[in-house]
Amino acid sequence: MPVPMVGRAAELDELRRAWALVCHGGRGLPAVVTGLPGTGKSTLVSAVLQATEPELVLSGSARVHSPAPYDWLAAVLAAHPRRELPIPPDALSWLVQDPDVPRERYTPEALLRLAVRTVRALVGAGPAVLVVEDLHALDPASLSLVAELAAADLPALLLVTSQPPEAAISPQLTARTMARLAGAPGAVRQHLGALDAAQVGTILEHVYADSEPSPELAEAVWRRTGGNPYRLTELLAVEVTNGPAELAGPANDLTAREREVLGCLAEGMSNKEIARALGISVRTVTVHVSNLLRKTGAASRTAAALWAIQNGGGARATTAS
């Protein structure tokens, strides 16, 4: 079942407003959306395109395995007719990454100017959305082009997604490019964080509409996934046939010792009693208890005991000595 986009209404609104400015003012605006992997950058971009329905979208992303110069533009050109572009055919061969093109024909500066001219021609009178996905993974020539496009004042929304520069192939260059984008007048800058427990709950309610998932379950799933939408959708895909109870985490995420401690909790034992039963220190018991609270998503030891009873996650103490 498709999961609805949750918790990004403000970001979507801001990007829609930016698009409206581009449409009515005829000027260019960059928008940079950063976030860790799987936080929903691409999802937000799709939502923006769906909400605004621009007639012209030029979209490209990095080729994951071996970035080559002008990957972004090559991806764009692969999807758009290029017969009447105002640049020499051999330069175009360069920009579309034709393998037979003679090397060293253009200086990097000249090629960059031609790349900007190409995009300008493709955008025409606009308005357009230029989507640059995963800036952090782009080749340096594409990064320069993106920075130039931000300054070129095309009638376009330049919508860029990126993981934080630390994750980039060229961290400094990526950071510099982002700074140039964000420094343009009127630029939009957004950072997508993790979803909170309530937002995770909203998604669970949607997926398990029949079984009214509890706030405790939402909390457990939130802890288990760190509120990362990608991890959450993966978990939902795996568990969807099993029903919501499994979402809190399978018992086999626990170590054998944690299961023993959980079994003791289910019998209502205190930490001191558990320590004695398992022949370990009270301090060690405390560590096991806090770990298994985290793993089971239980808010208290009573909740963990209940979880053990419901999920069969506890084991009887076997090593008393």
Ligand X SMILES: Nc1ncnc2c1ncn2[C@@H]1O[C@H](COP(=O)(O)OP(=O)(O)OP(=O)(O)O)[C@@H](O)[C@H]1O
Residue ranges binding Mg ion (CB under 5 A): 41-42
The DSSP secondary-structure symbol of 199 reads H
248 lines the binding site for ligand X (CB under 6 A): no
- Given 57, 75, 200, 203, the residue binding ligand X (CB under 6 A): 203
- Given 25, 26, 37, 279, the residue binding ligand X (CB under 6 A): 37
**Residue that the structure tokens 């498709």 belong to:** 2
The smaller minimum CB distance to Mg ion, of residues 95 and 181, is found at: 181
Which residue is nearest to ligand X, using beta carbons?
Answer: 40
Which of the choices Mg ion, ligand X, none does residue 213 contact, using the CB cut-off of 5 to 8 A by kind?
none
233 lines the binding site for ligand X (CB under 6 A): yes
Build a one-symbol-per-residue string for 100-139: x at contacts with ligand X by CB under 6 A, - elsewhere: ----------------------------------x-----
Cα gap 253→246, rounded to integer Å: 12
- Given 5, 56, 96, 151, the residue binding ligand X (CB under 6 A): 5
Buried b (16+ CB within 10 A) or exposed e, 189-205: ebebebbebebbbbbbe
34 lines the binding site for ligand X (CB under 6 A): no
The smaller minimum CB distance to Mg ion, of residues 42 and 291, is found at: 42
- Given 22, 28, 41, 95, the residue binding ligand X (CB under 6 A): 41
Cα gap 144→273, rounded to integer Å: 65
Q: Is the peptide bond before 127 cis (omega within 30 degrees of 0)?
A: yes
Cα gap 189→178, rounded to integer Å: 10
32: Cβ–Cβ under 8 A, 6 or more apart, which residues? Answer: 135, 160, 161, 162, 178, 181, 182, 187, 188, 189, 190
With contacts defined by CB under 6 A, name the span among 3-11, 93-101, 122-130, 146-154 that binds ligand X: 3-11
Q: What's the token pair of residue 195?
A: 């979803």
CB of 4 to ligand X, least distance (A): 6
With contacts defined by CB under 6 A, name the span among 32-40, 73-81, 91-99, 181-189 that binds ligand X: 32-40
With contacts defined by CB under 6 A, name the span among 11-19, 37-45, 90-98, 274-282 that binds ligand X: 37-45
38 lines the binding site for ligand X (CB under 6 A): yes
CB of 244 to Mg ion, least distance (A): 27
Catalogue the E-assigned strands of 178-263: 188-192
Cross-sheet strand order for the sheet of 128-133: 56-61, 128-133, 156-162, 29-35, 188-192
The smaller minimum CB distance to ligand X, of residues 89 and 226, is found at: 226
- Given 148, 230, 235, 291, the residue binding ligand X (CB under 6 A): 230
163 lines the binding site for ligand X (CB under 6 A): yes
271: Cβ–Cβ under 8 A, 6 or more apart, which residues? Answer: 282, 285, 286, 289
Phi, psi angle pair for 129, to nearest 5°: -110, 125
Judged by CB under 6 A, the chain residues 210 through 229 that form the site for ligand X are 229
CB of 38 to Mg ion, least distance (A): 8
With contacts defined by CB under 6 A, name the span among 2-10, 80-88, 89-97, 274-282 that binds ligand X: 2-10
Pairing of strands 188-192, 156-162: unpaired
Cα gap 260→288, rounded to integer Å: 10
The DSSP secondary-structure symbol of 159 reads E
CB of 263 to Mg ion, least distance (A): 43
167 lines the binding site for ligand X (CB under 6 A): no
Closest CA to 162 of 195, 192, 194: 192
Applying CB under 6 A, the residues found at the interface with ligand X are 3, 5-8, 35, 37-43, 134, 163, 203, 229-230, 233
